[in-house]
Amino acid sequence: ENTQLKDIISHAKEYGFVFPSSEIYDGLQAVYDYGQNGVELKNNIKNLWWKCMTQLNQNVVGLDAAIFMHPDTWKASGHVDSFNDPMIDNKDSKKRYRADVLIEDKLDELKAILFEIKKKQDQIKDHIPDGPWTGETAIESIEKDINFLEDTLKIGSPEAFNNAFKQVDIFESGNGTANWTQVRQFNLMFSTQTGSVADESTTIYLRPETAQGIFVNFLNVQKTGRMKIPFGIAQIGKAFRNEIVARQFTFRMREFEQMEMQYFVRPGTEMEWYQKWKTIRMKWHQVMGIPTEKLRFHDHEKLAHYANAAVDIEFEFPFGFKEVEGIHSRTDFDLTQHQALSKKKQQYFDNDLNEEGKPYGNYVPYVIETSAGADRLFLMTLCNAFTEEEVTEGEGTKTRTYLKLHPTLAPVKAAVFPLVRKDGLPEKALEIFDDLKFDFNLIYEERDAIGKRYTRQDLIGTPFCIAVDYETLENNTVTVRDRDSREQKRMPINELRTYIGEAVSL
């Protein structure tokens, strides 16, 4: 793990954002708990998404489906048969790896070596005699391996991976291939049992995505809401995947939260909606404060069995550009599958008129999906906000660490401090606190020197600190300190609500 990510992880723990799950028992791999500040930040991200989806779009409504679903759901969706990752075990260390990730790591290593050799070649090219040069053969052989491994990833089958492990030395020298099992498919769904009597029990799954809860309720919502196509259903909820490679903090967890929206459209119009949602979703990330240059689209080279177009929105994490949200054109795959297995029609009657002046009639709608991970967006927000700055202090300089969170997302919007703990200042500060607490999440603090109190708020990203001093008692004004500029200005108490309110709205 790189040092910046390490700093962010320890900051998150030290200031009450994220704790390892059941830490007193040494934690549970790839499962995390959100602390007092983390839960506020995550809720703010989720609320913003919910509001932008449902409140700003008349034709998008919400849903909260259960985590457990009828087991046939996962047969229909293809998860029972094909929600697999290729895995390989090291028999000595008893550790399990994802075959594709081992190959990706090897590719990164080979590309770095190639880069170094080519750099050397540039430096010494005037001194290389004519005829074959040993570096040239090395370049050729590395390029061959790179192409071969890239093809292997595209094919993606256990056979292809086994073949690659035979031909290219993927494992650190000394390990050899003898101590490794063959590559096998590993289903990522967690299962459990329902029913109290053993032989009457059924295997059920913890949902690996929230989308299927939307598909099976498509007609319930459409009919009861009298929805007309195109329309969408949005949902936020937990999903579970038994990830083999669990690393990079809340980027890849075994229990995580998704924010998904399925948009039902008339067949043939899906590409138009796919483009529209791509634009809308990219804009959303920018509006919540992520700089444009840290975001990019990445088209899928290999499409999932259900998709006819798919793109990821990627953010530049300290460990590189990685997916935070997927936008998929899922065709009519899911609804058609549910129709086949449940034997219940999943059709919509479209009475709009086509070019021939006749109603479009009955059809199974096509679907555009936007699928974001709340925990990944949380990590993105944290990485983007984590700021270390050199500031002058007295004679010298020091590093100032703070979270430059968009005020809309900040866990605490303002902190209220009495300058000292006497002469009626705490009472006045509490009066302000009580007046504003219905509108904003606030903190009241009277311990320690005021400088220390400012620092503590910087570390959790509080945009404003309101200080009550002796002047307050005379003319009902306070100082308001800005987190980013550290500047203070005097303001009448009765202007605080509007001032903070404007800053925290988008």
Judged by CB under 6 A, does residue 372 bind ligand ATP?
yes
Nearer residue to ligand ATP within complex by CB, 253 or 465: 253
Q: How far is the CB of 34 from ligand ATP (least distance, A)?
A: 13
Among 33, 89, 104, 323, binds ligand ATP (CB under 6 A): 323
Cα–Cα distance list, 293 to 136, 282, 289, 387 (Å) = 37, 12, 12, 17
Nearer residue to ligand ATP within complex by CB, 376 or 406: 376
Nearer residue to ligand ATP within complex by CB, 212 or 258: 258
Characterise 22 by phi-psi region: left (phi > 0), alpha (psi -120 to 50), beta (else).
left
Judged by CB under 6 A, does residue 243 bind ligand ATP?
yes
Judged by CB under 6 A, does residue 256 bind ligand ATP?
yes
Nearer residue to ligand ATP within complex by CB, 306 or 454: 306
Answer for the pair 150, 111: CB distance below 8 angstroms, yes or no.
Answer: no
**Numbered residues of the known binding site for ATP:** 241-243, 251-256, 323-324, 373-376
Which residue's CB comes closest to ligand ATP? 373
Judged by CB under 6 A, does residue 235 bind ligand ATP?
no
Nearer residue to ligand ATP within complex by CB, 282 or 372: 372
Judged by CB under 6 A, does residue 7 bind ligand ATP?
no
Q: Interacting stretch for ligand ATP, rule CB under 6 A, among 107-115, 248-256, 400-408, 447-455?
A: 248-256
Residues 6+ apart with CB under 8 A from 34: 17, 18, 19, 42
Compute how many residues bind ligand ATP; rule: CB under 6 A. 15
Among 235, 371, 472, 479, binds ligand ATP (CB under 6 A): 371
User: How many angstroms separate the CA atoms of 365 and 347, rounded?
Assistant: 7
User: How many angstroms separate the CA atoms of 273 and 234, rounded?
Assistant: 16
User: How many angstroms separate the CA atoms of 37 and 481, rounded?
Assistant: 20
Judged by CB under 6 A, does residue 98 bind ligand ATP?
no
Nearer residue to ligand ATP within complex by CB, 32 or 402: 32
**Numbered residues of the known binding site:** 98, 209, 241-243, 251-260, 323-324, 369-376
Residues 6+ apart with CB under 8 A from 338: 73, 76, 215, 216, 344, 346
Residues 6+ apart with CB under 8 A from 475: none
Answer for the pair 329, 345: CB distance below 8 angstroms, yes or no.
Answer: no
Q: How far is the CB of 252 from ligand ATP (least distance, A)?
A: 4
Q: How far is the CB of 325 from ligand ATP (least distance, A)?
A: 5
Please give the single-letter amino acid code of residue 12: A
Residue count (the chain): 506
Judged by CB under 6 A, does residue 376 bind ligand ATP?
yes
Q: Interacting stretch for ligand ATP, rule CB under 6 A, among 146-154, 167-175, 279-287, 323-331?
A: 323-331
DSSP letters, 115-157, are: HHHHHHHHHHGGGPPSS--HHHHHHHHHHHHHHHHHHHHHH--
Place of tokens 């075959």: 99
User: How many angstroms separate the CA atoms of 428 and 450, rounded?
Assistant: 16
Taking the alpha carbons at both ends of the chain, their separation in whole angstroms is 34
Q: How far is the CB of 489 from ligand ATP (least distance, A)?
A: 40
Judged by CB under 6 A, does residue 262 bind ligand ATP?
no
Q: How far is the CB of 258 from ligand ATP (least distance, A)?
A: 5
Q: How far is the CB of 188 from ligand ATP (least distance, A)?
A: 9
User: How many angstroms separate the CA atoms of 313 and 324, rounded?
Assistant: 6
Nearer residue to ligand ATP within complex by CB, 330 or 481: 330
User: How many angstroms separate the CA atoms of 310 and 370, rounded?
Assistant: 10
Judged by CB under 6 A, does residue 461 bind ligand ATP?
no
Q: How far is the CB of 371 from ligand ATP (least distance, A)?
A: 4
The values of phi and psi at residue 503, to 5°, are -70, -35
Please give the single-letter amino acid code of residue 242: N
Q: How far is the CB of 375 from ligand ATP (least distance, A)?
A: 5
DSSP alpha helix (H) spans, 239-398: 270-287, 333-342, 374-385
Residues 6+ apart with CB under 8 A from 72: 341, 342
Among 79, 106, 207, 252, binds ligand ATP (CB under 6 A): 252
Q: Interacting stretch for ligand ATP, rule CB under 6 A, among 8-16, 280-288, 340-348, 370-378?
A: 370-378
Site string for ligand ATP, 269-308 (x = CB under 6 A): ----------------------------------------
Q: How far is the CB of 111 from ligand ATP (least distance, A)?
A: 20
Among 207, 241, 338, 483, binds ligand ATP (CB under 6 A): 241
Judged by CB under 6 A, does residue 324 bind ligand ATP?
yes
**β-pair partners for 363:** 348
Q: How far is the CB of 378 from ligand ATP (least distance, A)?
A: 10
User: How many angstroms separate the CA atoms of 501 and 200, rounded?
Assistant: 57
Among 258, 329, 337, 408, binds ligand ATP (CB under 6 A): 258
Judged by CB under 6 A, does residue 373 bind ligand ATP?
yes
User: How many angstroms separate the CA atoms of 52 and 288, rounded?
Assistant: 11
Instruction: Summarize as ranges the residues that interact with ligand ATP (CB under 6 A).
Output: 241, 243, 252-253, 256, 258, 323-326, 371-373, 375-376
